[in-house]
Every structure is written in structure tokens, then in C-alpha cells.
Structure 1
Amino acid sequence: MLTRIRSLLEPAPKPQTPVAAPLPYRHVELFHWRPADGSVNFGDHLSHVVVSRVLGQRGLTLDDQVEHSGRLLAIGSVLHFAQDDDVVWGSGVNGKVPESAFTARRLDIRAVRGPLSEEFLRSRGHRVPMVYGDPALLVPHLFGGRFRPSAEKAQVFVPNLHDLRLVAGRPDVVSPLAGWNTVIAEILKARLVLASSLHGLVIAEAFGIPARYVRLSETENLFKYRDYYYGTGRTDFEYARSIPQALEMGGMPAFDFDPRPLLDAFPWDLWR
């Protein structure tokens, strides 16, 4: 398995600088990736949205002063940014980043995106519970009836940020640079979601909408997609090479998601 995982990892340009929290007192910093130009990428920003919503269920916020400072990594392929003593809840490995970029020796891991990330971390000596799931799958459970599928469009396409230029001008494109709520609302208008954005797929499937990964370019490594699908019990991962092929294939088989293990693994202790 480790050999297979390493084969999915490949060198990449140096990652962009992470955004640091400016609070001057002890708090829990939620790390999530953001483009250097100041824009907000839908999937990565969901980390802030989901963690804030989970905390809000107990009247807590990311701005709370806490007894001990900490750092949390949730949604995103951001484990190469991890530092010693960070807490991991649902993050995954980024296949574009060389293995040498992973330098953390002590991590407090509560959940990971999928079994490929688990195996990678175990191979480096980390203890990893078998709790899988991208926290974006929790959106329907966290927001009640705010978002509802309408099935008013045959399909929409949600590109990865790096593929956006390849589909410019298509009427069915949902830009990942729009507000998170707008992206979700547009996804839920479709009867079939096609996407090269991982979280376009995750959100569609979280709401029970058939979805299919469309590989328009080689920019993104397959690791994160396999990790997500394997984590939902679907090892028969198949993707399309074009939008017409994806329309012919239709959505991947559905899966059952129990939100409780992932919610139970949330690191409430950081907010003592």
C-alpha cells in the first residue's frame, strides 16, 4: 500500500504562504489554504465555515480565548503544512507535494479524509484512528434546511481553481471563487454534478446528488480524489476525461454517510 501511495505523490511548485490568524491572545488557530492573490477558494474556505458552525452548536467561536494555544487542520489537502503538536480533523495528504515536505513528527490526529492519508501518516510513525471523512460532508447536517436540492438544471460543472480557465464561457459553470453559500446553492440546482473540484463532488454527494469527477487537466494529483472515494467505501473509482464522457457515465454510486463518528471526533478539548 505504501508503494502505491508514494506512486501517487509527485513534486510540485512551492506551496503558497498560509494565512495566519492575527489574534494576540491564546486561541485555536484554524489553518486553511488561501490563494496568494487574496481570493477565496470554495473548498478550502469550507474549513472555516464548517468548524465555525460546529463550534457554534456549543456557543463557542474561533475567536475565543483558551487555556492553551493550538492549531487545527480540518478541510483540505494541507497536511504538508502541519507542524508539531497540530491537531488534525479530516485533512488529507496533497499528492502534488513531495514527501519531503511533510516534516511534522508529533501530530494529534482525530480523523483523516481517507485511508490513503491514514496509511501515509502511519508509515511516518503517527497514530491515526480509523475515522474517515471530509468534514464538508457535514454541511447538510450542520445547516438544517437552509440548503435544499431543487433539480432545476440538468447539470452543472464545478471546476478546480486551476481548471477554471478551461471552461470559461460555459453557461453551466459554477465558479469556485464565488461565496461558499452561492456555490452550494448553485450545485443544488443540478440533477447531476460534474466537477474537477473535489469539494464540488463532496457537496453534491453530501446532499444526495449524483456526481462524477472530470479530469480536464493533469494539474491535480489523483491522490486526494482516491482518498476521498476510498474513505466512503468506494474503491471502484472511475473518472471521465471530458464533460461529454462524464454525461455518458453519469454519477458514481451513492454511499451511506453516518456523521456521528466524525462529529464525535471533533477536538472539543482545545476549547477548554
Structure 2
Amino acid sequence: MRGRRFGNMGDLFGPIIVAAHTGQPVQFTPSTSLRQRLISVGTIGQKQRLGRVDVWGAGFGGAQESGFAVPRGFRHPHFTRFMPHALRGPFSAALLRESGYAVPDVYGDPAMLLPRLWSGEGIAKRWELGVVIHLSEIEQRSPTAGARPDFLRYAIPETLRGAVTVINTVVDRGVEPVRQRVEEILACRRILSTSLHALVVAEAYGIPCAGFDIHAGKPGRFHAADHAVPIDHRMRDFYAGVGQPEVLLYRQERHLQTDWEDACRFIDRHWQPLSYNASRLLEAFPRHLGTPEAVPGQEAMRRLSTLAPLDQA
């Protein structure tokens, strides 16, 4: 629906990154459309219907919303042709390959390119821990909404109010609100998140982080390909795609309060920076849609300031 005031931060990364790197104007196209279109950020491949769909870094889900399992059973939609240039990760690639597509072994989420747009330099660390909540966990779809009150794991004691902050991923639809939300994440020394794209931002900028899992059990590193372990399939796909076969998870059920100091110690002990190189992802960008700059210059940043409203559904 056009004209929506708010959007999800991760969904808005795609048009910003593509516009900045190519200099091309972007225009929202619905997921069901006869028009040729590009999908780049988010688990949105399985939602596409009709037409030609160029894929650059997007993820795919299975026939059923797999949630915490390795996705399987992708149902190829009728009258739709995917053109895979790069996938977010190998699990998304496997779904397309099962449908008969030749998929290159080029993986990565384009949101890893954000530091090429916004360096993050000069942003002071204000918080010891930023806790980023998924859309499904907020009270209402608003940039200032907190977690649902029955989710006790997000309660912050008075003694830690100056050290731990809760952030959601809802923003006004525009480049500047997205940049500001990214900078909120950059103002944290550590990130604990149920949102994949808050983790991608943290990893891209080298901020220690871990997924905030909702299941009972000990926190730790879990192999992305282990079907027996419940892991958010988007996180499985992303980390496997950037060459990290394990997903770092801090487990805490929603109805139990979180020991935030323990969570910080866990991240400090176990997080390791990624060594992902995005050059192949940039090289895989579909050339009929533009030639991306390795590092967008000042002119690209000026173009962003005049980018049309991000009217994504």
C-alpha cells in the first residue's frame, strides 16, 4: 500500500543502497507485478509473483514460514522468472536450485555495504548494550514503541536504565530516519537482537553482537546447518552466507527476566568479527540496472538526500 508513514528499517536498506551505489532512481514495485524488478534486502523472494525478478542479496523462505527451521519446499510461483545474481546465503540458494535455477555461489546481504554510505565516525558510545526488538514483539507499529509488556525479558531494572536501551526497527519512510536509526545502533557498545538487520548493521560496523533467541537452554554458538537446533532461518542464511557457519545466540524465554550483565559478558567472551569481503557481491550486481561504485562518493550522498519517498509496502 502506498503512502504508509512507517516502514521496517531492514526493508528500506535495499533502495537506499542501490540508489547510492548506482546513481539510478528507484521506484517501488509491488511483489505481485508484471513489471521487471530487483529484490535486494530481506526475506522477500518467496513473496514474489509474476514477471522477471532480479535477485541481488535477497533471501528466500520455504512454502511454509519455517521460522526457526532450515527452510524447505519453496513453491515456484507461476509466470515468474527469477534471475539470481547473488543470494543472501546458501539456504536461500538451495531453495532456488531445487526449483531448477543455476545459482552462483555469491552470497551476502547488501546491508553489509552500509559503512560505505555512512562511515559512523564521530558517533560516541552512549550505551553498554542495545537490545533490538523484532516487529513481532513491539506494542504497536511506531518508531517509539517498546516491547509488549508481557514479554518480561525486555524489562530493564532502574539501576541499568543508563546502560541498556531498547530499540525497535520501525522508522519513518525516508533516508534520514533510516540513517538516524543506524546511528542509534552505532551508539551501543554491544547489540543483542531478534532483528536480523540490526545484527547485520552491528556486524558491518564491527560491533560485538549476538542473536536474542526466545528458546530455553544455554546460550552459545550453534551450527547454522543443524536442523535439530531452533535458529531463526534468516540468521542461519546470513551467517552461512558471510562465511560464518555458526550463529551466536543468547537464549532467554520471553516470560523470564534477562540478566543483562550476563548477556554483556557472554557477547564479550564469544563474539568474533567477520572477515567478509563484499567485492564479489558488488561485482554480481546486475549490470543492465547500473554499475555500482565500490565506494559511493559525495555525489552519491547528495543523490540520497533527494531520493523519492521510500513507499515500500
> What is the TM-score when the length of structure 2 is the normalising length?
0.65
Residue 25 (structure 2) pairs with residue 61 (structure 1) = yes
RMSD: 3.0
In structure 1, the partner of 2:187 is 189
Deviating beyond 4 angstroms after TM superposition, the runs of 4 or more aligned structure 1 residues are 146-149, 167-171
> Residues 149 and 216 (structure 1 numbering): CA distance in 2 closer, same or farther, change over 3 Å?
farther
Structure 1 counterpart of 2:87, one-letter code: V
Compute the displacement of 1:271 (Å): 5.0
**Rg (Cα) greater in structure:** 2
Alignment partners' CA distance in 2, 1:126 and 1:233: 22
Which of 282, 295, 308 is matched with 1:263 structurally? 282
Higher relative contact order (CA 8 A, sep 6+): 2
Q: Which has the higher strand share?
A: 2
Structure 1 counterpart of 2:245, one-letter code: T
> Residues 264 and 271 (structure 1 numbering): CA distance in 2 closer, same or farther, change over 3 Å?
closer
Structure 2 counterpart of 1:200, one-letter code: A
Q: What SS does the corresponding residue of 1:94 show, helix, strand or coil?
A: coil
Q: What SS does the corresponding residue of 2:42 show, helix, strand or coil?
A: coil
Unaligned runs of 5+ in 1: 1-18, 23-36, 64-68
Alignment partners' CA distance in 1, 2:263 and 2:92: 27
Alignment partners' CA distance in 1, 2:102 and 2:275: 26
Alignment partners' CA distance in 2, 1:249 and 1:169: 19
Residue 273 (structure 2) pairs with residue 254 (structure 1) = yes
In structure 1, the partner of 2:113 is 138
Q: What SS does the corresponding residue of 2:249 show, helix, strand or coil?
A: coil
In structure 1, the partner of 2:244 is 234
Alignment partners' CA distance in 2, 1:213 and 1:191: 15
CA contact (8 A) 1:131 1:261 kept: yes
Q: What SS does the corresponding residue of 1:238 show, helix, strand or coil?
A: strand
Compute the displacement of 1:194 (Å): 0.7
Alignment of 1:1-272 (within 5 A): 19=1, 38-56=5-23, 60-62=24-26, 70-83=36-49, 84-94=51-61, 97=65, 99=73, 101-103=75-77, 106-143=81-118, 145=119, 149-164=123-138, 165=148, 166=151, 170=156, 172-178=165-171, 179-216=177-214, 222-242=232-252, 243-244=258-259, 246-250=263-267, 252-271=271-290
Unaligned runs of 5+ in 2: 28-34, 67-72, 139-147, 172-176, 217-229, 253-257, 292-313
CA contact (8 A) 2:120 2:183 kept: no
CA contact (8 A) 1:79 1:102 kept: no
Compute the displacement of 1:217 (Å): 7.0
% identical aligned pairs: 29
> Residues 208 and 238 (structure 1 numbering): CA distance in 2 closer, same or farther, change over 3 Å?
closer
> Residues 264 and 186 (structure 1 numbering): CA distance in 2 closer, same or farther, change over 3 Å?
same
Compute the displacement of 1:151 (Å): 2.8
> What is the TM-score when the length of structure 1 is the normalising length?
0.75
